[in-house]
């Protein structure tokens, strides 16, 4: 029996488009002799729809579209994710659901039983737990269907199960022959390997194959990597979907497969492909065909403009160099060389005259005061205004170039280099930016080697380097990872061998600059804990660091 696993890239709330994806994949599956086509969690709506779920008209339309889709299904069965009303009419009133469609009718329904409420997940805000999972018979086998979080009780994170309820165990007690999980599981580093471990554990414990179908694509700050898979009853990975690309693969239940070993690409490749997909999808789903990047000649803007070229095509990318009185000739040359290597549109707009005009206008108020970071920030804000003017005029999405280390420390200027529509690398630590640059250059120089090797600098005052005001990046990034991703406190981080004064300074700045990050553009989530929706800290709070 042939089963099609269809990882699609839906657009949130675009029912016509999403149904066209489901229809096309179903036709492909049917023409290939499949009896069942499996689609991701909420494939009809796109995930996550957030507070659209609070609009009754949106829920009604989703149900109308599900009925419409069911009429079109012939000679094949389809598992489709959608949102249903809770028949009990209690609690939130909605259930994250899955429908089995066969020959023009909905043959069965089930829902998500475990509702995550951590990191970027907020499902208890919208949904009630489903009273039961979908199970059905087909081709002489009994199939059990779970939705995303329902399988994650298999992971021992804190010394025990995450939930009292175990949907997989309940299905196994019914004697299912195959476990299916439909998901919209966002990417983070090493997530694919973790999912595989979960499926292996479940398949071995219950002696059944496990089919995992995941959404692909970028939706706002979340990246969905696909990487759908099938694991046999012995825990062997036997089918694997593409990473960061829509895909359809077929699993034949009667066929003997070799095990897929070493399934995951290099970390640099995965992250780079994720950023490229996320940039492309954010731009296209928001209606942009062009992107714009300010080029400083530094590592961060070089990395962002490369990603933009891969995402949109170099013909749709504009790079703008805006040298100030403190910009070195090296930086100007490297920016122009990079633009030439990539084949993008390139313009240089010097800002010294604009900077002088600002200083003249402010001179009466600033009389007798030394120049400080105020004048540095004026340069950044001039550049931000120029870039936003170009963005408006040419309808090009401005990409912000700050990295995670800078965002954490507030080493960025409100209404200056924080201007833009998408912060592409805001979840990439500075040290990893260098790893990505080296990976990009693995087959020949694209980013000028001098850009990678020279000390990083904002070049907003004479002879400035980042390390004038920040710890060395390898030290800073280790402290930040411990504080942000591992949630370690002051004493725990010091115990890892760091200078207590440096740790206090870093954590103090991390706390203080929450207000800047709240005003930054959305960024693409790569690590297990990114700034933004999944990390919620107060701005007005005590100054103690923990």
Interval 358-367: pLDDT, tens: 999 999 999 9
Write down the catalytic residue from 80, 112, 123, 430.
112
Residues 480-494: tens digit of each pLDDT: 999 999 999 999 999
290 carries an active-site annotation: no
| Mean pLDDT computed over 92-101 | 96
| Mean pLDDT computed over 451-474 | 86
- Calculate the average pLDDT of the chain: 95
| Mean pLDDT computed over 259-271 | 96
55 carries an active-site annotation: no
**pLDDT greater than 80 at residue 176:** yes
Bigger pLDDT: 283 or 103? 283
Q: In the prediction, which pLDDT does 156 show?
A: 62
Report all structural domains of the chain as residue ranges with CATH numbers, in order of start: 2-256 (3.60.110.10), 271-466 (3.40.50.620)
Q: Which of 84-93, 151-160, 380-389 has the lowest mean pLDDT?
A: 151-160
Q: Distance between CA atoms of 546 and 540, rounded to whole angstroms?
A: 16
Phi-psi region of 220 (alpha: psi -120 to 50; beta: other; left: phi over 0): left
Helix (H) / strand (E) containing 239: strand 237-240
| Mean pLDDT computed over 91-115 | 95
239 carries an active-site annotation: no
In which band, very low, low, confident or very high, does the pLDDT at 200 lie, cut at 50, 70 and 90?
A: very high
Q: Distance between CA atoms of 31 and 278, rounded to whole angstroms?
A: 31
What's this model's pTM, rounded to 2 decimal places?
A: 0.95
Write down the catalytic residue from 6, 148, 213, 309.
148
Residues 298-328: tens digit of each pLDDT: 999 999 999 999 999 999 999 999 999 999 9
Write down the catalytic residue from 6, 34, 41, 191.
41
The residues near 528 (Cβ < 8 Å, ≥ 6 apart) are 119, 188, 189, 485
Q: Distance between CA atoms of 44 and 236, rounded to whole angstroms?
A: 31
């Amino acid at each position: 029996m042939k089963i099609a696993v269809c990882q699609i890239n839906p657009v949130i709330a675009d029912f016509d488009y999403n149904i066209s994806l489901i229809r096309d994949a179903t036709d492909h599956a049917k023409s290939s002799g499949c009896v069942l086509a499996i689609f991701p969690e909420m494939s009809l709506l796109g995930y996550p729809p957030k507070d659209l779920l609070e609009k009754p008209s949106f829920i009604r339309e989703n149900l109308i579209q599900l009925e419409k889709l069911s009429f079109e299904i012939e000679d094949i069965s389809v598992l489709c994710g959608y949102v249903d009303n809770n028949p009990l009419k209690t609690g939130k009133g909605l259930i994250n659901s899955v429908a089995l469609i066969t020959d023009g009718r909905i043959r069965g329904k089930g829902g998500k039983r475990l509702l995550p409420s951590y990191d970027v997940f907020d499902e208890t805000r919208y949904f009630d737990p489903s009273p039961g999972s979908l199970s059905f018979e087909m081709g002489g086998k009994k199939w059990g269907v779970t939705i995303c979080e329902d399988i994650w009780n298999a992971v021992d994170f804190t010394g025990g199960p995450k939930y009292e309820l175990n949907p997989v165990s309940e299905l196994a007690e019914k004697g299912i022959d195959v476990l299916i999980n439909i998901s919209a599981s966002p990417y983070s580093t090493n997530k694919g390997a973790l999912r595989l471990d979960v499926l292996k554990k479940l398949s071995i414990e219950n002696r059944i194959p496990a089919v995992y179908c995941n959404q692909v694509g970028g939706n706002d700050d979340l990246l969905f990597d696909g990487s759908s898979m099938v694991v046999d009853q012995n825990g062997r990975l036997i089918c694997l979907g593409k990473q960061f690309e829509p895909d359809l693969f077929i699993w034949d239940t009667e066929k003997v497969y070799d095990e897929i070993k070493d399934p995951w690409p290099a970390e640099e490749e995965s992250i780079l492909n994720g950023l490229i997909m996320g940039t492309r999808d954010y731009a296209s789903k928001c209606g942009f065909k062009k992107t714009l990047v300010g080029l400083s000649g530094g590592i961060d803007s070089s990395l962002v403009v490369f990603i933009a070229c891969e995402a949109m095509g170099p013909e749709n990318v504009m790079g703008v160099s805006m040298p100030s009185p403190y910009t070195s000739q090296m930086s100007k040359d490297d920016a122009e060389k990079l633009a030439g290597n990539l084949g993008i549109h390139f313009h240089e707009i010097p800002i010294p005259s604009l900077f002088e005009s600002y200083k003249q206008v402010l001179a009466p108020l600033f009389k007798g005061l030394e120049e400080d970071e105020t004048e540095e920030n004026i340069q950044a804000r001039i550049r931000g205004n120029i870039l936003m003017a170009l963005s408006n005029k040419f309808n090009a999405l401005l990409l912000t170039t700050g990295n995670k280390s800078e965002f954490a420390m507030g080493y960025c200027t409100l209404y200056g280099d924080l201007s833009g529509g998408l912060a592409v690398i805001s979840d990439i630590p500075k040290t990893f930016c260098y790893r990505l640059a080296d990976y990009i250059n693995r087959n020949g120089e694209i980013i000028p080697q001098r850009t990678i090797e020279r000390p990083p600098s904002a070049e907003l005052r004479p002879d400035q380097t980042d390390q004038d005001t920040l710890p060395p990046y390898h030290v800073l990034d280790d402290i930040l990872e411990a504080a942000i991703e591992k949630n370690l406190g002051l004493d725990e981080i010091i115990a890892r061998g760091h200078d207590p004064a440096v740790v206090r300074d870093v954590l103090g700045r991390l706390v203080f600059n929450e207000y800047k990050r709240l005003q930054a553009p959305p960024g693409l989530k790569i690590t297990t804990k990114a700034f933004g929706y999944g990390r919620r800290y107060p701005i007005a709070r005590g100054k103690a660091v923990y």
